[in-house]
Structure 1
Amino acid sequence: MAERVDTSDDWIIERTGIRQRHVAAEGECTSDLAIKAAERALAAAGVDGKDIDLIVLATATPDYTFPSTAVTVQAHFGCAGVPAFDVQAVCSGFVYALTVADNFIKAGQVKTALVIGAETFSRILDWNDRTTCVLFGDGAGAVVLKAEEGDGSSSDRGILTTHLHADGRQHDLLYVDGGPSKTQTTGYLRMQGREVFRHAVVNLAAVVDEALKATGLTSADIDWLVPHQANRRILDGTAKKLGVSPDKVVITVDRHANTSAASIPLALDEAVRDGRVREGQVVILEAMGGGFTWGSALIRM
């Protein structure tokens, strides 16, 4: 990165906590990453791709303007006929997608849902802008949701509550300066980092409190906080505001950078696979992204 822009490894680590990032290969698309993550999620869940009833894919960097990246994933798994669509809420996309799938299940319309967060943000970065290009990476993560009866209490397993918000007045603080209708171009990511940081800590703490109040739980009941991996300072500030011990925060931003909608499922996957997150534990997911959009999901694993 220091060879591209006026920066240094020490500066990046001190300001962001990011030590490395992954970039998709030439010709590798968001759908390629999404399919790989979905294959691993389905294998972990013991579910065949043909048994999927719904695919919701969160991304701000789709393969095409249309069709959706979700239908490319659908074609790969051979589950033609089931609903498949993208959700665009930038860094909050995975929480939005998870909420959509959860409500489909609660409504009794589907029994098995595949939820994916996948991004190739490297394709919309201005590699001459050191305030943004050092922050982002590419990646994908996925989960499988299955319908199961519960008693409606906070002791149930699965998604206990979700909460979503947006504030379009903050458009100019974090956006991409292009689009098919506006400029007929892809555009590049633009951000006012200091203002985004200020809003993020306040909004993220508030939406976690909202989830706890909805379930009657407290911050002491949280086993793990799995936040959107935007910036180490935001993660530390949010945990402090919530009164959550730093050792209960799953952090992967140092190795993945900000992968937008992919960051929460990537972090969750790592924590499940290394044994930190276990069955029966209470996990809170939270994210904020361009728009602004923000949201939380409280889960008992």
Structure 2
Amino acid sequence: MDQLVETTASASRQPAEPGPAPAPSGCIRAMLAGIGAYLPETVVTNADLATRVDTSDEWIRERSGIRQRHIAQPHETCTYMAVRAARAALADAGETPDQVDVIIVATATPDQAFPATAVRVQGELGAGGFAFDISAACSGFVYALSLADSLIRSGQAQNALVIGAEVFSRLLNWQDRGTCVLFGDGAGAVFLRSGRGRGHGTDRGILSTHLHSDGRLGDLLYVDGAVGRPDRPGHLVMNGREVFRHAVTHLSGAVTEALAANGLTAADVDWLVPHQANARIIDGVGRKLGLPAERVVVTVDRHANTSAASIPLALADAYAAGRIRRGDLVLMEALGGGLTWGSALVRL
């Protein structure tokens, strides 16, 4: 069922280079005004998977921290889930679809090669403006958030719907216990609204985003097939050991970069909301930052890895529980196939 999270906030971004003090009127910022989420109703536990593949609850938990995942039914397409998360975010922000300027959907599992899932979402919502997809695997939401922030700050859009939506269950080889136990389906969305800030780290909203990729590492995590390669099975392939090794290093670097760009330290961070890939990776990044476990949002145990949807789903979950509150400084980070990785620092 649809999940709605209450939040109203504003946003800002630290300039890349030092400059003169901002004008009294302030500068344009991308303000976080609403959050929404959708999870498929069907829950598959580790015990359920053990009846289908050679695995066990103990084996899965020990290696990933996952105990269950949500799996989409045939009617729960990428568009279907994205629309419901978007509606929840709009309702939370007190906005209507006709006020939307741009929709960006981060997904590696679109319903069609084209049109973009975002365009389908636009049609279902009855929204105006323009819409497009972005593919950066598990880093997709951070990438999409950065693009939306830039569009708002440049004045090309007054507001934006940013959605992460995935149906990874349709990419999995259900005979491969090394990958099929790790992923789930779902969608999360945020609504960003143009506002004003002062231009430094005490502002609310998106303070900065930092994006990276290294195509030389593309064979560590990929899907073996596409529209242009019908001879391939189209299943997810992963070198888990190597992904883990790169994840902790790159993610720690990305979050340190975000803090340095804003003149902040880990002590200033109220919450780390990481991509929910693996409990051990999350723990590793938290330890490198010196953040106590109680300040790290973890939903991988219930959601598994939902790729581009995992950060907004985790954000929505923590806010609905009353853990994350308005005014909190939230650090988001993700790493995905490509390899791609990045971070975003947001004050709600």
Task: Tell me the TM-score range normalised by the shorter chain.
Answer: over 0.9
User: 56, 62, 77: which is aligned to 1:8?
Assistant: 56
- TM-score normalised by structure 2 residue count: 0.85
Matched positions, count: 300
Q: CA deviation at 1:184?
A: 5.7
Q: Which residue of 1 aligns with 2:334?
A: 287
Q: Distance in 1 between matches of 2:232 and 2:131?
A: 26
Q: Distance in 1 between matches of 2:98 and 2:233?
A: 34
Q: Distance in 1 between matches of 2:172 and 2:211?
A: 27
Kindly indicate whether residue 109 of structure 2 is the aligned counterpart of residue 61 of structure 1: yes
Q: 1:65-84, aligned counterparts within 5 Å?
A: 65-80=113-128, 82-84=129-131
Q: CA deviation at 1:14?
A: 1.2
- For 2:62, the aligned partner's letter is E
User: 39, 44, 49: which is aligned to 2:87?
Assistant: 39
Name the SS for the 1:200 alignment partner: helix
- TM-score normalised by structure 1 residue count: 0.98
Q: Which residue of 1 aligns with 2:260?
A: 213
Q: CA deviation at 1:236?
A: 0.4
Q: Distance in 2 between matches of 1:278 and 1:173?
A: 37
Q: Distance in 2 between matches of 1:183 and 1:195?
A: 28
**Structure 2: runs of 5+ lacking an equivalent:** 1-48
Name the SS for the 2:261 alignment partner: helix
Q: 1:262-273, aligned counterparts within 5 Å?
A: 262-273=309-320
Identity %: 61
Q: Distance in 1 between matches of 2:73 and 2:230?
A: 27
Q: CA deviation at 1:182?
A: 3.3
Kindly indicate whether residue 59 of structure 2 is the aligned counterpart of residue 17 of structure 1: no
Kindly indicate whether the alpha-carbon contact (under 8 Å) linking 1:57 and 1:69 is maintained by their aligned counterparts in 2.
yes
Q: Distance in 2 between matches of 1:120 and 1:268?
A: 19
Does the C-alpha gap of structure 1 residues 138 and 79 become closer, same or farther in structure 2, counting only changes over 3 Å?
same
Q: Which residue of 2 aligns with 1:231?
A: 278
Q: 1:122-141, aligned counterparts within 5 Å?
A: 122-141=169-188
Q: Distance in 2 between matches of 1:215 and 1:50?
A: 35
Q: 1:99-138, aligned counterparts within 5 Å?
A: 99-138=146-185
User: 135, 146, 153: which is aligned to 2:193?
Assistant: 146
Q: CA deviation at 1:185?
A: 5.3
Q: CA deviation at 1:274?
A: 1.3
Find runs of 4+ consecutive structure 1 residues off by over 4 angstroms: none
Q: CA deviation at 1:111?
A: 0.9
Name the SS for the 2:132 alignment partner: strand
Q: Distance in 2 between matches of 1:59 and 1:212?
A: 27
Q: CA deviation at 1:27?
A: 3.1
Identify the structure with the greater helix proportion.
Answer: 1
Q: Distance in 2 between matches of 1:228 and 1:184?
A: 32
- For 1:103, the aligned partner's letter is S
- For 1:173, the aligned partner's letter is L
Q: 1:240-255, aligned counterparts within 5 Å?
A: 240-255=287-302
Q: Distance in 1 between matches of 2:93 and 2:301?
A: 28
Q: CA deviation at 1:5?
A: 1.4
User: 160, 173, 196: which is aligned to 2:207?
Assistant: 160
**Structure 1: runs of 5+ lacking an equivalent:** none
Q: Distance in 2 between matches of 1:123 and 1:27?
A: 13
Offset from partner CA, 1:191-242 (integer Å, 9 cap, x none): 0001000000000000000000000000000000000000000000110111
* Aligned alpha-carbon RMSD (Å): 0.9
Q: Distance in 1 between matches of 2:50 and 2:125?
A: 41
